[in-house]
Amino acid sequence: MKKIINSPEAVVNEMCLGMERAHPDYLVFDPKYRVLSRKQPDKSKVCLISGGGSGHEPAHGGFVGKGMLDAAVCGDVFASPSTVQVYNAIVNNKTDKGTLLIIKNYTGDKLNFEAAAEMAQEDDDIAVEKVYVEDDVAVKNSLYTVGRRGVAGTVFVHKIAGAAAETGLELPQVKRIAEKVAENVRSIGFALTSCTVPAKGTPTFTLAEDELEFGVGIHGEPGVERKKITGSDDLAQKLLDMILEDMPLVRGEKAALMINGLGATPLQELYILNNSAGKILDQHGIKVYRTFVGNYMTAIDMAGASISLLKLDDETMAYLDSPADTPAFGLL
Amino acid sequence: MDVLTVKHIEIIIETMTDIIIENEVPFCQLDSAAGDGDFGMSLAKGFREVKARSGELSRESIGHFLKDVGMIITEYCGGASGPIWGSAFRSAAKYSAGAAALDLNGIAEMLNCAVEGIQKRGGAKLGDKTLLDALIPAAQSLRISANSGLSISEASKLAAVSAVQGGEKTRSYVASKGRASYLGERSLNYPDAGAVAIGVIFTGISKKIEDILK
C-alpha cells in the first residue's frame, strides 16, 4: 500500500480536518461525532443530512453547502457511521422545518440512520423523514437480497432535494421531490483496478491487465461479470444498455447524465467515456439536458467509472438548474 | 408480591453484562462459521461500557434505567448490534417508563416490546436465522406463563428453555439477513450466533432470578 496517510486509524479524521482547512468558508467539522456541517447554517429551511462510510470523497462532505446538504456524517472507511453519530448530526443541525435523511441503501446505513431518526423523533421532537437511494442496476432486486445499492445517483438527490429545500418548501414536499429523483435515477459502474482500504492495506480484488469488473460496487463489491476490456464506445453501449433496459426513456425525453470517476481515472478518460455516452444517447433521441463529468462518488483509489442517468421532468429540471455552492459542486 | 423492582432489573442487567463479557470469544467463534465473526466482540464492547458507567445510570424507574443502558449500547456496540440491541432496550424502556416494579404480565409485555423494537429496526421475522428466533419463543413463553398464573421464577426458567431451543433450531434455517445471508444455503447446520447468545443469556438470568426472588 502506497498512500499519503499517517496511520489507517487516523484517515477519516485527518481527511475531514483537511477538508475543513481547505474550505473554511463552507465547512465546520465536529471531530467527536465526525460530522461536517455548513459554516453558515440556515435554520429556516428543511435540513438535509446524508453520509455513510468514508472513502467516497468528495461524497458526502464535499456536497455540504448552499443548495445541497446541511450536514454529512462520516463513518469509517466503507463502514456506516454509528447511530449516535447520526443522531448527534440530526440534533446539532436541527432547523425549524425538520430533517430529511438521504440514505444509500446498505444494511448498516439503514439500521443506523433509522435508529437515529427514531431517537431524534422520540427524544427531541424533531420531525425526521428518510429517502433511500438504490440506483445501481448491476444488482437485481429480489425478495432474498437487501435490494439495490445506492451509488453515484445519490448526488442528484442531494442536488435536487437540496435546491427544493433552499426555496423554503416544507418537509413532505422536499421528501416527495427527493423520492422522485431516487425513483428516476439509474447507475452502473465498472472497475479497471481494485481499491485498497487503508486498514487492510492490500487490494480488495485483483484484475488481470486486460480485464474489467463490470457492475462493480463503490466498495469494490463484485459486479455482474468480469469482461475483457474493449473500447470506450463499446463500454458505454453496454453500460447504457443496462440502464435503459431498466428505465426505458422514449425519444425526446430529457435526462441528466453523470460520468463519475471512481477515484483513480483521469478526466481525459472520463471525457472520452462521456463522448461515447453522448453519441449513444443522441441515437436514442434522448436529450441530455445537463452533463456532469468528474469525481463525485468514488471508491478510494479504484480506477474505473460509473454512468448515471436521471430522467427529468419540469420540476426536477428547474431544481437541477438552481444554484449550488459547495466545495465539490458549484452551479451558478 | 411477585414483582421485579428497579434493583432487580439492575441485577439482571449486571448478570447479562457478565455473561456477555465472559462469552466474548465463544460468541465470536459462533459467528465466524457463517457470519463475519465480530458478534461477540461488538456486543462485549457495548456491555463493557455499561459496566464501566453503571454508576451514571438513572435508577429513577425501570424505564429510566433501561433507557440509559440502551443509549450506551447504541453508542458502543459495533456493527449491526448497536442499533439492534439498542432498539430492544429503548422499546423495553418506553414500555416501562416510570415503572418502579413490574409483575409477570408487565415483564412479558416489556419483552414483547423489545421484540417489536428489533423488528422495527432490522425487519426480521421468525425463521430468518437471527436472534429473534430465540427471543420470540422466550417472549411467547413468558406470555403463556403470565396467562397461566405462574411465578416469575418458574416463568423465566421456561422462557430460558424456549430461548435455548429456539437458538438450536436456527441450525436448520437459511440466513436471509446480515452478512450471513450472502452464504445462502451454506449457512445451514450452523446456528445463529445471536440466537444462541439469547439462550445463554436467558439461562443465566433465570438462575439469577431464582436466587433473588427466593
pLDDT tens across A78-130, in order?
Answer: 989 999 999 999 999 999 999 999 999 988 899 999 999 999 999 899 999 99
Facing B121 at nearest CB: one of A82, A115, A144: A115
Using CB atoms and an 8 Å cut-off, which of residues 152-211 of chain B contact chain A?
A: 176-178, 181
Determine the 3-state secondary structure of B29 from DSSP: helix
Distance from CA of B121 to the nearest CA of A (A): 6
Nearest partner of B136 among B198, B62, B67, judged by Cα: B198
Give the helix/strand (H/E) hosting A309: strand A304-311
Across A170-224, the runs of DSSP E, i.e. the strands, are: 185-191, 211-214
CB B199 within 8 A of CB B134: yes
Q: Which of B67, B90, B183 to mutate to test the interface with A (most CBs of A within 10 A)?
A: B90
pLDDT score, position B183: 63
CB A307 within 8 A of CB A240: yes
A8: Cβ–Cβ under 8 A, 6 or more apart, which residues?
A198, A199, A201
Specify the CATH superfamily of domain A185-323.
Dihydroxyacetone kinase; domain 2 (3.30.1180.20)
DSSP state of A224: S
pLDDT score, position B182: 58
Q: In chain B, whose CA is at the least distance from the CA of A116?
A: B83
Instruction: State pLDDT tens for residues A295-304.
Output: 999 999 999 9
Entry pTM: 0.87
Residue A224 pLDDT greater than 70, yes or no = yes
pLDDT score, position A17: 98
Look at A224-233, A235-244, A250-259, B36-45 and tell me which has the smallest mean pLDDT.
B36-45
Give CA–CA dist A133/A115, Å, rounded.
18
Q: pLDDT tens digits, chain B, 214 residues: what are they?
A: 899 999 999 999 999 999 999 999 999 888 887 666 778 888 999 999 999 999 999 999 999 999 999 999 998 887 788 899 999 999 999 999 999 999 999 999 999 999 999 998 878 899 999 999 999 999 999 999 999 999 999 999 999 999 999 999 999 998 877 666 656 677 788 899 999 999 999 999 999 999 999 8
**Architecture of the A10-183 domain:** 3-Layer(aba) Sandwich (3.40)
Residue A144 pLDDT greater than 60, yes or no = no
A299 forms bridges with which residues in the sheet? none
Residue type, B178: G
A224: its cell numbers: 455482474
- Strand pairing of A47-54 and A71-77? parallel
Determine the 3-state secondary structure of B26 from DSSP: helix
Residue written as grid cell 435515477: A185
Give CA–CA dist A221/A315, Å, rounded.
34
Give CA–CA dist A144/A149, Å, rounded.
14
CB A280 within 8 A of CB A243: no
pLDDT score, position A281: 98
pLDDT score, position B60: 97
pLDDT score, position B37: 74
Contact between A115 and B79 using a beta-carbon 8 Å cutoff: no
pLDDT score, position A141: 61
Mean pLDDT (chain A) is 95
Cα A330 off chain centre by:
16
Facing B83 at nearest CB: one of A115, A122, A144: A115
Give CA–CA dist A65/B121, Å, rounded.
31
> What is the DSSP annotation of B92-161?
HHHHTTT-SEE-HHHHHHHHHHHHHHHHHHH---TTSSSTHHHHHHHHHHHHHHHHTT--HHHHHHHHHH
Nearest partner of A219 among A285, A302, A127, judged by Cα: A302
pLDDT score, position A147: 81
pLDDT score, position A95: 97
**Residues A31-39: what's their mean pLDDT?**
97
> In chain A, what are the domain boundaries?
10-183, 185-323
Determine the 3-state secondary structure of B212 from DSSP: helix
Contact between A119 and B181 using a beta-carbon 8 Å cutoff: no
Domains of chain B: 4-213 (1.25.40.340)
Residue A7 pLDDT greater than 90, yes or no = yes
Query: How sure is the predictor about A208, in pLDDT bands with cuts at 50, 70 and 90?
Result: very high
A204: its cell numbers: 480488495
Give CA–CA dist A36/A63, Å, rounded.
10
Residue A221 pLDDT greater than 70, yes or no = yes
Residue A260 pLDDT greater than 80, yes or no = yes
CA distances, B44 to each of A84, B16, B35, B51, B160 (Å): 18, 11, 17, 10, 21
Determine the 3-state secondary structure of B82 from DSSP: helix
The complex's ipTM?
Answer: 0.72
